[in-house]
Amino acid sequence: MFQDSVVALLMLALVGTYAQLDDIISNQTVLTVNRTEEITLVLPPSSGNLEIYALPVGQGDCTIIQCPNGNLVVNDCGSSGGNRVTPQQIQAFLGNRIGDVVAIFITHPDRDHFNYLYSIPWTTSVQKVIIGATLQDYNRPSSQFAMIYNWLVNFNNAGELFTVSGGASCIGTCTVPVGLDFCNNLNINFNILAANVGTTSNQKSIVMKITSGTFTVLSSGDMEGTASTTIAGTLQGQLSSVVYKMSHHGASRIANSPTWLMPIAPRVAFASSGYNFGNCRHPRCDTINRLRNLNTLVAAPPHTIYCGNSGPPTQLPGFTQHIYETSPTSNMICFLNYTSTFLFNQACYNVTVLEPSVGLGDDECPVQLEGGAPVMAAHYTAIIVVAFLLALIN
């Protein structure tokens, strides 16, 4: 009861005054290492609160949710590359706690959200694997898709694989047959607000809101485009969240539109990103500015934000609103931690030698550089056609 009262008072401070909170950043650590392999991430023991860990996987997503009772839920786990920790480092991060993982979510069928999963030896403690889209959406002619498809089929054979609403489109009324009580009724709710809304892989993303009292976290995979507009128009206030994990790593052209962000109205936000990897330049400056224009972000001690649009990456020093990212620069990665007591920690690492980005997945950013595969395909097709015509003329 006393803890609930403290949380309520802190929430009032966050929402009502937006004053500088001395404890919003409870620890900032910057270490220097030569390679990402030298970084050792450690999962702290349960503090009795809900905790959200954003792991620095580069251009990808991997979020670990720790329940007050120590149960763990993995929400995506993959990378397209860039300076990042590896599946082996994530396994080391979990350590002997890997047996506490009770559920795994794959928000949608994109490699940078799942291609670490089949490289980590999960235990039989994993009771549920819940995917956005359908199983067949993961059955594509690619070695990594073959790996994840076989991995999912094995879970399906054990009766542990579930699709949201049977793979059908849902907004507001989304069902998973076995339920979503991962924290054993400790007033922690996992609510799937939408899934499979559009026709593209990104638009099939699971939109999930995690609630612990007045503390709420919204995760939406790579949700974008008309699907996000439809969801925002339908759900409105249900999207409102204290912590917002930026959709599509902080993309801006077809994700994180003002229509999508307005009902979320986050107090704090973070991006899982591979800064300037493959010209991704996530998070985008347009997204940062849209979040700032909401006037809902809580104040934070001055720090530097890096972002990009179509031009060179931009450095925003002295930033005093609560937006952080897992890869602030190409030579730095950060391990972020949010808790239901409204504390935030970051442990950043200066990496003096970049790790080669090979063997861990395709680079989706030049293809999807918020212009998409059709744009690049059109460019290459035009070049080929011109070359062919010139050959005929000659």
pLDDT digits (tens, 9 = 90+) for 32-69: 999 999 999 999 999 899 999 999 999 999 999 999 99
pLDDT exceeding 70 applies to what percent of the chain? 82
Which whole number is the average pLDDT over 306-316? 86
Amino acid 27: pLDDT: 67
Amino acid 335: pLDDT: 96
Question: Under 8 Å CB-to-CB from 362, ≥6 apart: which residues?
Answer: 80, 111, 142, 144
What pLDDT, in 10s, does the model give residues 136-174? 999 999 999 999 999 999 988 888 999 999 999 999 999
- Which of 72-81, 201-210, 309-318 comes out lowest in average pLDDT? 309-318
More confident residue, 276 or 224: 224
- Which of 74-83, 197-206, 304-313 comes out lowest in average pLDDT? 304-313
Tell me the pTM. 0.87
Amino acid 218: pLDDT: 98
Amino acid 195: pLDDT: 98
**Residue 365 pLDDT more than 80?**
no
Amino acid 356: pLDDT: 53
What pLDDT, in 10s, does the model give residues 368-381? 433 333 333 333 33
Question: Over the range 214-241, which residues count as b (16 or more CB within 10 Å of their CB) and which as e?
Answer: bbbbbbbbbbbbebbebbbeebeebbbb
Q: Which of 87, 97, 109 is nearest to 65 (CA)?
A: 97
Residue at 60: amino acid letter: G
Amino acid 24: pLDDT: 55
Amino acid 280: pLDDT: 82
More confident residue, 214 or 26: 214
Model confidence at 309, in pLDDT bands (50, 70, 90)? confident
Amino acid 279: pLDDT: 75
Amino acid 388: pLDDT: 39
What pLDDT, in 10s, does the model give residues 108-123? 999 999 999 999 999 8
Residue at 299: amino acid letter: A
Question: Over the range 99-133, which residues count as b (16 or more CB within 10 Å of their CB) and which as e?
Answer: ebbbbbbbbbbbbbbbbbbbbbebeeebebbbbbb
Amino acid 25: pLDDT: 57
Amino acid 366: pLDDT: 54
Amino acid 355: pLDDT: 60
What pLDDT, in 10s, does the model give residues 250-292? 999 999 999 999 999 999 999 999 877 777 889 999 999 999 9
Which whole number is the average pLDDT over 191-197? 98
Q: Which of 229, 224, 232 is nearest to 282 (CA)?
A: 224
Residue at 137: amino acid letter: D
**Residue 246 pLDDT more than 80?**
yes
Model confidence at 391, in pLDDT bands (50, 70, 90)? very low
CATH number of the 2-362 domain:
3.60.15.10
Q: Where are the domains of the chain?
A: 2-362
Give Dmax over CA atoms of the chain in angstroms. Answer: 84
**Residue 238 pLDDT more than 70?**
yes
**Residue 19 pLDDT more than 80?**
no
More confident residue, 20 or 179: 179
Q: What is the CA radius of gyration of the chain?
A: 20
Which whole number is the average pLDDT over 220-236? 96
State the alpha helices, DSSP H only, in 158-309.
225-235, 258-264, 285-293
Question: Over the range 6-15, which residues count as b (16 or more CB within 10 Å of their CB) and which as e?
Answer: ebeebbeebe
